[in-house]
Amino acid sequence: MTEIAHPDSILIIDFGSQVTQLIARRVREAGVYCEIHPFNNAEEAFARMGPKGVIFSGGPASVTAEGSPRAPQAVFDSGIPLLGICYGQQTMCTQLGGTVEGGHAAEFGRADVEIRAASPLFEGLWEVGGRYPVWMSHGDRVTQLPHGFEVIATSENAPFAIAADESRRYYTTMFHPEVVHTPDGARLLSNFVHKIVGLKSDWTMAAYRAEMIRKIREDVGDGRVICGLSGGVDSSVAAVLIHEAIGDQLTCVFVDHGMMRLNEADEVIKMFRDHYNIPLVHVDASDLFLTELAGEVDPEIKRKIIGRLFIEVFEAEAAKIAADGKGAPAFLAQGTLYPDVIESVSFSGGPSVTIKSHHNVGGLPARMNMKLVEPLRELFKDEVRVLGRELGLPERFVGRHPFPGPGLAIRCPGGVTREKLDILRKADAVYLDEIRKAGLYDVIWQAFAVLLPVQTVGVMGDYRTYDFVCALRAVTSVDGMTADFYPYDMNFLGRTATRIINEVRGINRVVYDVTSKPPGTIEWE
């Protein structure tokens, strides 16, 4: 594993909140490195990291229930600053001798907190006597504070909306500062890491790039690295970064499964071979993939087929590379991101495995016997884009909307055929072209077309048609965890639908999907 030591860091102890990742994003936006670890692994992580401060996340459990999650005692014994959020407040207060009770009025959604006393937690943000909007999500509440704590702010249903022990630098909030619905929440978290913990804003992509290049060279030495290039942002940024570190010791294998967007495979080949001069093996395996997918309609089985074939093709190419007389690759490069790492150690199980399958096609088998090089495993998606810009990748490529590993196979519900994929590719290209012309591409987080498994009767000029229905999807997202549909005006939709129907043979009707998505389920099928 390619990891960097971070002497000035924040540990976030995860108690199962669906928005814990947002805490980490806000801390990193403040220029401070942090890591998330589940409560049941927190003691080991705390000892390994030696963090300068700790944040307790929210969570779905009740502190009053037997066996509910707790923070390790070592954290309290350390004397470093602590911040507890929602459940984090409740377990901190319970573990320090306070009382938490259920049965009181719950508080979900927007609320106002009234500031009763000054605190460095909101210095420069809120004034004593003022009322400020926050986002609550709790059933239980603290009814008695531990010794040394004082009330800093209250809300209608949370008498201890903010409580702190300033002498020990322990701070707690009943509301969630990490979500965008708490307008000043990001600045509050910034105050914690800067004013209370005392860390500087030295987490930058320039520094990360330089340190990661040094680490890759140290780990790889004179060995060879093979990278599975999907054409997406993650694997591409990883490949460029590794190539900058070790040059032609890296070979990229681009397995083209035939389900990429229009001209995307050609763009990948041109950029890596011509622009970056990175050794690249292009394998056109589209016939193999389409043959195996023929007649399959279950999306989960589609993913498994694609994942299995990807591994088989990649493994065959790796064997050819090993036989070229230059020595077998000893390292495998992957574009693993920090959310993948978090989900892989999640204590709660939950839906993360299913959700992840929307975006991943599976790992490589242990029999390949290679050490991993994962230069992005500490980064969130938006940080990968920043690193890509730092490395000089074209903005059109770095800012590309997310695209799942199985590609158009899951945007073509029902059976997958070459004809249907070609229809979908053309419709998707028209749609994205109109979005770019309208100046909306960077406003929208993700947009794509879907070829529905239904055909309808239509009239085009003097002819009846019996063609497919195309659905258009566009969502906005601040954090990549929740999404809402983009509110196009009717002129845009009318113009786009007209172009698709006129230019793409095989489609006679276009609809727009206006559903929203809860946390963790950005992809639509």
* Residues forming the active site: 86, 176, 178
Query: How far is the CA of 256 from the CAs of 187, 260, 269, 398, 449, in angstroms?
Result: 44, 8, 10, 20, 20
**Nearest Cα to 399, choosing from 370, 462, 441, 355?**
441
Inter-axis angle of helices 233-246 and 205-220, nearest 10? 60
Instruction: Phi first, then psi: give them for residue 127, nearest 5 degrees.
Output: -115, 150
For residues 460-494, one letter each, b for 16 or more C-beta atoms within 10 angstroms of the residue's C-beta and e for the rest, the string is eeeeebebbbbbbbbbbeebbbbbebbebeeebee
Residue 61: left if φ>0, alpha if ψ -120 to 50, beta else—which one? beta
Other C-beta atoms closer than 10 Å to the C-beta of 276 total 17
**Nearest Cα to 289, choosing from 424, 408, 453, 451?**
408
**Sheet with strand 158-165: strands edge to edge:** 33-38, 9-14, 53-56, 82-85, 170-173, 158-165, 150-155, 107-115, 131-138
DSSP 467: E
Strand duo 170-173 + 82-85: pairing: parallel
Distance CA 363, CA 456 (A): 40
Strand duo 250-256 + 107-115: pairing: unpaired
Check if the beta carbon of residue 310 is closer than 8 Å to that of residue 203. no
Fill in the amino acid letter for 458: G
